[in-house]
Structures are given as structure tokens and as C-alpha cells.
Structure 1
Amino acid sequence: MQYRKIEKNGDEISALGYGAMRLPTKNGRIDKEEAKKQIYYAIDQGVNIIDTAFPYHGGASESFLGEILTDGYREKVKIMTKMPSWSVKKYEDMERYLEIQLEKLQTDCIDYYLVHTLTKKSFQKLKELGVFQFLEDARDNGQIKNIGFSSHGNLEIFKEIVDSYQWDVCLIQYNYMDEKNQAGTEGLEYAHSKGISVFIMEPLKGGLLAGQVPDKALEIWEESKTERSPADWALRWVLNHPEVTCVFSGMNHEDQIKENLKVAGEVSPNSLTEEELRRYDRVKEVYRNLMKIDCTGCGYCMPCPRGVDIPRCFNYYNHQYMFDESQSFIYLGQLGGVLSGQEAYAGLCTECGKCVRACPQKLEIPELLGTVSQELEGRGFKYKIKIGKSIILPLFDGFISFSSRFSRRSDNTRKSS
């Protein structure tokens, strides 16, 4: 593992950090046994910082980390978490949330405390409520050590926030597709020039740059004499920047952890060749031509009051264009509820706007859901759901019933023998 030093406090931070927003799940909840095993493994291999936040995993992420960071593991890692800025209505709320987070994390002091997803409007509100005084008092009281912020805002807003206070750290979205989006490369360099340590989220753009990638992109990667996965290429690009202190990856599988550890142990700043950098430009062009909706699947827009599974709607839509594979049938089965039993399709949207206010990417979600509905649902979608349920669900229920009877019969046979 390589480590990068924060000059302000002397901390040696692992180039790879553990993001606790996308932990492995089972039945919709954190798979505690698997997640604990994965986090312990990463720490044992040199990862020394974990990023979480108040809303991650429905509020369960901080509590889970508090449960497992025992037996010396708390001393091995720095914890980064964030004040839920959208829920702060008065000064006392800031105090209350910090106390709750300290209790959930089962710690006396949070190493890096960030104001979460600052926007121009929320930042102005928090300044009026006295956020800087609160943060400084919390640091003086020993409740937090380092002060920072996270932001998905544009470059202008980002610079305004940077210039407003003597921040220790900031957290921004950055990957080879977002060079000019949000803070972008210019924001990264600007914060670094002000002595602020920059941490990175979404290095794989919510997984869009890893795993299954468009064939044309894969062909470009495979031209290289050095064999690397798309995830390796994506993470390598971010770590190549000398202004980057640490990259948080939302790892939820052992193979992902091992691969990311390998990359973080290899990449030194400015180590990519000119030929390799030109290859990134070619891949970016492939994605720009294919990807329709710039959604990372972060889930900040959820839950939808009408039950729409917004990230999955966008995922199916993007998948159809990126891989030229019709998603209508699986969309009907999963989001239409024919197979899943839970309707969550785009056409349920009533344009209440709640998701728009929550989206870090500033997507016009209701409008985009309308496009998804038009292309993946079409006319008579509710009728298709009705027909599908009347045919598929009885067959499925019958199969389950048969399997259950067969299982009981097998058990009785074993018992009698």
C-alpha cells in the first residue's frame, strides 16, 4: 500500500480508502458477516481510512462500523463521516447529529468530519446558523479532529466554498469521465493549491467504468501491452494525479478489494504514459456517444414517494444503449413487478420534485423518467403488467408449492430410511 501525507496534520493516509456506502447486502440490509470480513481484510492489507455518512445504508452504515471496529481495528483506521446538512434547521441540530454519530460509531472523536454535499443554498443557510463556530467548538472539545466538506456543485460554487474557510480536507467526485464536471480537474488543483487535502469519491462513476463495459471501450483497453481490467484503468487514472490524497472505493466483493489494493500499491503520481493518457481520451469518447443518463446510482434520490426505483430505471435505460440489448422484458419483470412482485417503474412518477432537490448530479429526474417510461414501457404498460402477473406469478407460485412438497417428501424419505 502506498501512503500520501497530509501536510497540515502529518497523517499518512492510504492511497485507497474504504467507502462504506455500498457494503454487501442480504435481504436489503448490510450483510454484516461478509462486510466485516471484507473491511478487516482491507485494513489488514494497509487501508487506514473509512468513509461513511449519516444516511448510508438507510442510516445503518455508521452503526455497523461502530459495532465492528473493535479488537484494535479502531486504532488502525481514521473515520470520515459527515453532517447531514439537509436536515439542519437550527444550531442545536448540528450538536444533536454529532452526538448521535459519535454514539453510533462508538467513538469519542471523529477523525475527519465533513459537512455533507454542500450547495450554494445549503452553504449559505449553514453559515447563517453558525456552522463554522460549531465545527471549531467541536474540534476544541475533542469531538472531531479535522474539518472538511463534500460537494457535487459546479466549479464556481466549489471555489466559493473553498475560499470561505480554512478547510483541512474536501471530498469530490472525480474520474476520467468527470474531468470537467462538478469541481473537475480545475477544482482539484485549486483546492490543492489552497493547502486542502482532496479525497475522491466515485472513481468508477458508480461502477459504470468497471465490470461490464461497452465492447468498443474494451477493445481500446485490450490494445495495451499491459493487461488491466477496466476498473484498474479507472482507478489508476485518479491515483495518477499528485493532488489526490486518497480514493474511496465502494468495494463489496473480495475480488474488488484485492484488485484495488494492487492498483493502490502500484500507482505513483504522474506515472501514466502519454500513450496511455491518449487511450483514456478514446475510451471517454466511446462512453460519451453511448451513455444517455449521467447517473452514478448513489441513491440520494431514494426513497421515491411513489415507489419508483430511480437508479434502476436509469441503469436499464443506459444498459440498453451502451450494449445494444433490449431491456424491455427484464424491465417489465423487475420494475413492472411481474417477477419481483413490487412495482417500481418510471411511469409511476408524479413529478413531485423531491428527487431533483436531492440529486448530487443535478439531473432533471422527472423529465428523464418520462423518457425512460416512453422508451421502455410504451403504450399499454399497465396492461402488460396485468397480463404478466396473471400468467407468470401463478406459474411461479405453483413451482414454489411443488418444490416445497418435493422437499418435504424427500425429508420424510430420509427420516424413514
Structure 2
Amino acid sequence: MRYRRFGKTNLWLSVFSLGTMRYLDSEDNAIETVRQAVAQGVNHIETARGYGKSEEYLGAALSAGLGLPRSQLYITSKIPPTVQADTMRRHIDESLERLKVDYLDCLAIHGLNTWEHLDWVENGCVSAVQQAIADGQVRHFGFSTHGSLELIVKAIDSGLFEFVNLHYYYFFQRNAPAVELAAQKDLGVFIISPADKGGRLFAPPTKLKDLCAPYSPLALSYRFLLSDRRITTLSLGAANPSELSEALSIADRDYPLTTEELEILEDLESHQSTILGTDKCSQCYACLPCPENINIPEVLRLRNLAVAYDMTDYGQYRYRMFENAGHWFPGVKANRCTSCGECLPRCPENLDIPSLLDDTHQRLNGPNRRRLWE
């Protein structure tokens, strides 16, 4: 296991952190998953108020003993933004009680996803967090986000936070400027769920496996992130102990990408360009805003991946969250397009966006999907 400094928190975290959204089957399973992760060098565990019984299960694991003193095991919990400071203070107390700890090493605002959420923090609940820090209940303060790049940049620039949890993967590099700004501001960078949100790479299609050989797509994705020294730690959302092995087997491989790895990544990009041809969306976001509130770049990103790499399962998984996950995954489905044409002159590739939206909907639509713990 390798360890990196988590920005201005000055905590040294393992390059893989145990995320606990998926270990919800039973308390015994949760305890064993945490125990085996810690035994293999993981020293940072992340939970959240909204993850079902996750905090309670982690509290049970901590009480059972994990072979590390509390001072060497770092706990992060996440709490949604609140309008009232008193509500945030009560939520902090409740999380500490469920976790059976006296303090959180890190508290993150969970889902700073809208401009309203940022306003709630700046003019409301931040005072409760600051008081909890003064009282020794919280040591470091950050935020997690599924919001727009512009919102993330504004939050980083606010000066309120010491770390950020965000989406950034080989197959989704929109937030690269946020990673760079966080590094410049000395914020710790925690990458959310690269195995799942980064492409469901734990179950890759055959085409993608062939293109990534001799590496697995998941290993190559982890290497892309581990080689980036601006990133502190990657979330490992194991549902049980057996799901720890692939990630932790490469936890010491945090060196720069090798020539072979770089060539494979270049071949992946070349393959996508060849297969998609003039239908490739370059993810410039110039098409927005859409009057129907279609997140055109994200819809077409999912199409890019489905067509180029057969990542249809991942595309369906994400696409079906539109209209069903609120601010966690904003936008409506592509069949809402009215062919108004407002996006067309803004597209530098001159894509026939309405036709591509229709094609994406036909490929990826199906039963609606909600977020895991809902």
C-alpha cells in the first residue's frame, strides 16, 4: 500500500479508501470487509449519513477492534447540506453516536450539487461545522459533489474546504480543471467510485477487455488515476471482502504510466475516433444550455462509450438515472428533444445532435433506475 498527503489536512491516506455504500448486507459482512481492508493497509474509511446502516455497521467494526489505534485510522462521514446550522449540528452529533467515536477526522458536505447547496453552506450550516471543529468533534472539512465543473471550481475557490470528493476517470475527464485547481489550492482529492461510476469496469465488455489487454480495464483505469500525483486516494466500494483483492493488488503501483500503458490509452482513443467517425462528441459542452434541460454532453458521452467500446451496460446504468435521481444526476432523457436546433450552431463538430440523441435513447433507455441506497 502507498500513502499520500491529503492536501492541507496533512493526513497521510492510503491510495485506496474503503467506501462503505455497498457493504449493507449485514453487520457481520461489514465488519469483516472493514477488518480485511485495514489488514491490507487501508487507513481511510468513508461513510455517510445517507448510506442506510453504513455508519452503524462501521461503528460496530470500530468497536470490535481493527488492529490499528484510532489515531492511525481516519474516518470520513458525509452529511447533506442544510439550510439551518442547528440541523447540521444535530446531524453531526447523530453521526458520531452511530459511529461510536468522539470525533470525525473528516466531515464532507454530501452532494454539493447545486448553486443553492453552496449558498446553504456559505450562509447557513458552515457555522455549525466551524463550531464542531472548535469543539474537537470534526478535524477537517470538505465536500463531495456531482455538480457542474463551474460549481466545483467556485466551491474550491471559496476557501471553506480542505478536500474535495469528485468524479474524474479515464472515461470522464471533464473535471480535470477541478483536479488541477484543487492541487494548486492544496486541497486533498478523493476520486469517487472509479470501478463503478468510472465505467462499471468490474464487469467490462469483451471488446474493452481486448482493447486493454494485457491489462484489465479496471487495472488500467486505476493506473491512470494512481499515476496522477495530484490525486490522493481512490474509493474502493467493496460489498464484501472478496471485492478488495483486484484493487489492493495494485496499491503499490503508483508510478508514472509506462510506455506500454500510454500506448494502450492512445489506442483506445484512436479506436473511439475511428469507430465514431464524424459522430464523435468531443465533450466541449458548447451545446449547453438545452431549453429542454437535456444534458447533451453526458448523453452523447454514454453513446460514445456504447458505440466505441460496447459499454452499453454502463450506458444503460447511467442513462436510466435521468429523471430519477434529482440533483445527483440532473437532466431529462434524450427523447425530450424537440429538434429546436438551438444547439446545432454551437457544436464545433457540426453534429446532428437531435438524431444522435434519438439514437442514444433507442440504445440505452429501459426501466428507470434510482441511486443505490434509495
Q: TM-score, normalised by structure 1?
A: 0.66
CA distance in 1, matches of 2:360, 2:232: 38
CA distance in 2, matches of 1:32, 1:286: 45
Moved more, 161-170 or 4-13: 4-13
**Residue 132 (structure 1) aligns with:** 126
2:118 to 120, 123, 128: 123
Instruction: State whether structure 2 residue 317 is matched by structure 1 residue 357.
Output: no
Identity of aligned residues (%): 26
With over 3 angstroms needed to count, the CA separation of the structure-2 counterparts of 1:377 and 1:198, relative to structure 1, is closer
Which protein is bigger by CA-based radius of gyration?
Answer: 1
Instruction: State whether structure 2 residue 268 is matched by structure 1 residue 283.
Output: yes
SS in structure 2 at match of 1:69: helix
1:176 to 167, 170, 174: 170
SS in structure 2 at match of 1:176: coil
Instruction: State whether structure 2 residue 24 is matched by structure 1 residue 50.
Output: no
CA distance in 1, matches of 2:266, 2:331: 24
| CA apart distance, 1:208 | 2.7
**Residue 301 (structure 1) aligns with:** none
**Residue 36 (structure 1) aligns with:** 31
| CA apart distance, 1:133 | 1.9
The gaps in structure 1 that reach 5 residues or longer are: 24-28, 291-314, 332-345, 382-417
**Residue 62 (structure 1) aligns with:** 55
| CA apart distance, 1:366 | 8.8
Instruction: State whether structure 2 residue 80 is matched by structure 1 residue 84.
Output: yes
With over 3 angstroms needed to count, the CA separation of the structure-2 counterparts of 1:107 and 1:237, relative to structure 1, is same
Structure number with higher relative contact order (C-alpha < 8 Å, ≥ 6 residues apart): 2
**Residue 212 (structure 2) aligns with:** 221
1:179-205 deviation per Cα after TM superposition (whole angstroms, max 9, x unaligned):
12xxx1111011110111111112124
**Residue 156 (structure 2) aligns with:** 162
| CA RMSD after TM alignment | 3.5
Contact 2:334 2:361 in 1 (8 A): no
1:95 to 89, 100, 108: 89
With over 3 angstroms needed to count, the CA separation of the structure-2 counterparts of 1:284 and 1:65, relative to structure 1, is farther
Count of aligned residue pairs for this structure pair = 311
Q: TM-score, normalised by structure 2?
A: 0.73
1:98-125 deviation per Cα after TM superposition (whole angstroms, max 9, x unaligned):
1111111111101100111112121113
| CA apart distance, 1:91 | 2.0
**Residue 222 (structure 2) aligns with:** 235
Q: Aligned AA for 2:90?
A: R
With over 3 angstroms needed to count, the CA separation of the structure-2 counterparts of 1:208 and 1:155, relative to structure 1, is closer
Contact 1:6 1:12 in 2 (8 A): yes
| CA apart distance, 1:14 | 0.6
**Residue 21 (structure 2) aligns with:** 21
Instruction: State whether structure 2 residue 234 is matched by structure 1 residue 247.
Output: yes
The gaps in structure 2 that reach 5 residues or longer are: 277-301, 337-357, 368-374
With over 3 angstroms needed to count, the CA separation of the structure-2 counterparts of 1:92 and 1:363, relative to structure 1, is same
1:1-16 map, 5 Å: 1-6=1-6, 8-16=8-16
Contact 2:171 2:199 in 1 (8 A): no
| CA apart distance, 1:176 | 0.4
Name the structure where helix makes up a greater proportion of residues. 1
Contact 1:139 1:145 in 2 (8 A): yes
With over 3 angstroms needed to count, the CA separation of the structure-2 counterparts of 1:374 and 1:213, relative to structure 1, is closer
**Residue 282 (structure 2) aligns with:** none
